[in-house]
Structure 1
Amino acid sequence: MYPYLRYTRSIVHAVIANKKGQSLDLVQTSEVIVRCSLTDLDPMLEMNNGRVLTVYDIGRTDFIIRTGLGRLLLKKRWGMVVAGSTIQYRRRIRFLDKVTIKTHIVGIDKRWIYLEHSMWVKGQPCSSMLLRTGVTEGGKVIDTTRVLKSLGKEDWELPPTGYVAEWIASDADRPWPPVGLRV
């Protein structure tokens, strides 16, 4: 089941943080702390890999709200989509572990905003996820220049480099639909 209570609590905390002057600039990193609960566990008694993706939603929502993007999305009736992701797992997250979720922007191109999430337990990285996200209007992804202009950041640039640029290039070569599933 989706962790609606935990998610709602994180939204309330992000809104309160903004009201207390703890908003973030787009270049900053959001940090949210959650506990690995019983409903997060798989049969190996560690956080389920699918739950990791769901818990990253909490970090992304905090980042969106605290940077002002959330308010802009509501005001303009825009949406936000995830159009691709890649993830690496390095350490297990166990029951009751205190998990810090870090979220920041690692690149922006004409169409996409690339976010990176990471989970940390006791100062050790456990997983990292790279996301391709887009802002939508009427169901279609809009240019990031419109989004940045609406945020008062029209001169801000962060072109994807390094592993982010490599992932973008590699993903562009990936056949769609998947080769083994074509009709």
Structure 2
Amino acid sequence: MRLFWLLATAKRRGRLSAWHVSRRTYTVRPRDLDIYLHMTNSAYLSFLDLGRMDLVIRSGIWDRSRRERVQAVVANQTITYRKSLNLGDTFTVETRIAGVDERAVYFEQRFTVDGEIYAEAAVRMRFIRRGAGVVPMEEVLTWADPAPEDRVLPQWMREWAAHTGLPSTREPAPSAWSS
């Protein structure tokens, strides 16, 4: 239901530059919990999706990508947990674009409570045109406001992407664990 609510209300929340911070506030519900009664890992990833969707819808990138028949897909993501979110906790998902390289957009996302970071994530996304592969960032960047000059992709994100990537879908990637 959160996804449908976001889709129904995102544009009413006002236009947002792709280079600004999107903030969405939520409350931990029973279906967000794991067996230890704190928010489960998969719920965090779902809220990250909602944060990115809010930013791309409100910035106009989503409308343009739909017209161009382009889909955004997560290529890499990592999340670090600092404090637990528990039933009834109200938290904010903060989302911003950290930068881009030749093939991907990198997002920084945080879960905060009263301004304090509870978890932080890095997400690398590619834009794919069906049948044509990865859309060049030069094209994607024309769909957004110009990037601020100080928004340079951090070196650690470049290294993270290089060290965690898998082979292209056009190359073999066998699983060969022995035990």
Alpha-carbon separation, structure 2, partners of 1:157 and 1:145: 18
The correspondence for 2:2, drawn from 3, 6, 14, is 6
Any conservation in 2 of the 1:36–1:93 contact (CA below 8 Å)? yes
- Scaled by the length of structure 2, what TM-score is found? 0.86
Identify if the C-alpha distance between structure 1 residues 180 and 125 changes in structure 2 by more than 3 Å, giving closer, same or farther.
farther
Name which of 119, 126, 133 aligns with 2:125. 133
Structure 1 residue 177: Cα displacement: 4.2
1:7 aligns to what SS in structure 2? Answer: helix
Partner residue in 1 for 2:87: 95
Contact 2:108-2:120 within 8 A present in 1 as well: yes
Question: The residue matched to 2:78 in structure 1 has which SS?
Answer: strand
Greater relative CO (CA pairs within 8 A, separation 6+)? 2
- Aligned CA RMSD, in angstroms, stands at 2.5
1:108-145 per-residue CA deviation (whole Å, 9 max, x = no partner) reads: 01110001111112322111111110111115211110
Closer, same or farther: CA 45–152 of 1 in aligned 2, 3 Å: closer
Contact kept? 1:93, 1:121, Cα under 8 Å: no
Write the distance in 2 (CA, Å) between the matches of 1:13 and 1:156: 31
Percent identity for Structure 1 against Structure 2: 27
The CA deviation at 1:155 is 9.5
Does the Cα contact within 8 Å between 2:19 and 2:147 map onto a contact in 1? no
Corresponding position: 1:53 with 2:45: yes
Q: 2:135 aligns with which of 132, 142, 154?
A: 142
Matches within 5 A, 1:14-93: 14-17=10-13, 22-93=14-85
Aligned length: 173
How far is the alpha carbon of 1:41 from its aligned partner?
A: 0.4
Closer, same or farther: CA 142–120 of 1 in aligned 2, 3 Å: same
Cα distance in 2 for partners of 1:123, 1:88 equals 17
- With normalisation by structure 1, the TM-score equals 0.84
- Report the Cα distance in structure 2 between the residues aligned to 1:157 and 1:147, rounded to whole angstroms: 19
Comparing 163-172 and 89-98, the one that deviates more: 163-172
Which protein has the bigger helix share?
Answer: 1
Q: Please say if 1:164 is aligned against 2:157.
A: yes
Which stretch shows the higher mean deviation, 158-167 or 131-140?
158-167
Q: CA deviation at 1:165?
A: 2.5
2:73, 2:127 within 8 Å by CA — same for their partners in 1?
A: yes
